[in-house]
Amino acid sequence: MENKIEVTVLMTAYNASKYISESIKSVLNQTFKNFEFLIINDGSTDNTSLIAHSFNDSRIRIIENDQNKGLIYSRNLALKEAKGNYIAILDSDDIALPNRLMTQLKAFLNNTALAVVGSRALIINEKGIRTGQKLDVFSGINKIKVTLFFENTIVHSSAMIKTKVFKEMNGYQGESLIEDYDLFYRISILYPIENLTAYLVEYRIHDTNISIQKRKELDKALFKLKRKQLQKLGIQANDEHINMILDNFKYSTFPMEKYFKMLCILKYKNTEFLVYDKNTFNTVLFDKWYNLIIQKGHIKSILFLFRSPIFEWRIVTAKQIRKVFKISLKSILGTSKIKS
């Protein structure tokens, strides 16, 4: 029998009284109406429960945890409570734009193989004012899968997940603070994920964001996830390897030779196990090598660029070659001036 409810909007809240009213209103104002709204109050000690219960809408269903049990427990209540064919996540301090649910459902209808559909996001401050900043996450199924190896490219509050896939994955698992990243990574190994180019949510930045409060715990959790991801590629990584991935080959902490060797290992192992689309993965690796060359500004930059096996003619652009050549030339001229 076909499910009569199309979407379950899932919101978990803990001491969210400052923002939750706006968030709830944004869901109730959706252009798409066939949804249930599941709100999990995770043992809040402020007015969160009172505010949630003040809304008179039959689509709202509120579950009260008898004490604070954490995000993973609360979000996983959807494994048994969700009645919709899809689960749309919205954090209790973020805003869903009016066409969010309708737009994402159309994406699922256009590609029934999709397991997750996310979107880009507009940044708002504590007062709900747009800052002008945006979360312009990657789109493209293969690109997203590869990018999830290096970083989370899904805005959690924008994610709509196929319910049967969410249950198949046993919901959120792994380390606290990155349970969303862990979930999307696990899904991406088995199913396609897409990000729409539309801005469908407003993501709020404020002083109580978990990632700001608990940076050390977050880094520790990411370290464990990176080790697991590398093992999936058949790489028994040491701490140095993991730190290169965590830095996303951005900060030039290590010598170029070490970065190059790590990129080669990644390329060889993916060629062997084919976890990721080969062309997409190799292109991303080359782009990271190119960005490192630009950062270093070395006299041998042009030689680094053409170094096999990371270099491939099908990947490199004329613009990249010109830029690296200029860097090498500038370094040579600078060295000549010093000598003279």
Q: Write down all domains in the chain, each with its CATH number in brackets.
A: 7-212 (3.90.550.10), 233-339 (no CATH)
Residue 289 · residue 266 · CB < 8 Å: no
Q: Smallest Cα–Cα separation from 169: which of 183, 156, 180?
A: 183
* Burial status of residue 245 (CB atoms within 10 A of its CB: 0-12, 13-18, 19 or more): buried
pLDDT value at residue 297? 81
| Amino acid present at 266 | L
pLDDT value at residue 207? 74
Sorted by sequence, the CB contacts under 8 Å of residue 7 that are 6+ apart come out as: 32, 34, 35, 36, 84, 85, 86, 87, 88, 101, 105, 160
Q: How far is CA 285 from CA 152, 231, 270, in A?
A: 17, 18, 11
Sorted by sequence, the CB contacts under 8 Å of residue 61 that are 6+ apart come out as: 36, 37, 38, 39, 81
Sorted by sequence, the CB contacts under 8 Å of residue 332 that are 6+ apart come out as: 299
Count CA atoms within 13 Å of residue 298 on its CB side: 15
Cβ atoms within 10 A of the Cβ of 198, count?
15
The pLDDT tens digits for 284-328 are 999 999 999 998 887 788 899 999 999 999 999 999 999 999 988
pLDDT value at residue 336? 42
> pLDDT tens digits for the chain (340 residues)?
455 899 999 999 999 999 999 999 999 999 999 999 999 999 999 999 999 999 999 999 999 999 999 999 999 999 999 999 999 999 999 999 999 999 999 999 999 999 999 999 999 999 999 999 999 999 999 999 999 999 999 999 999 999 999 999 999 998 889 999 999 999 999 999 999 999 999 999 987 665 566 888 898 999 999 999 999 999 998 999 999 999 999 887 899 999 999 999 999 999 999 999 999 999 999 999 999 999 888 778 889 999 999 999 999 999 999 999 998 888 777 654 434 3
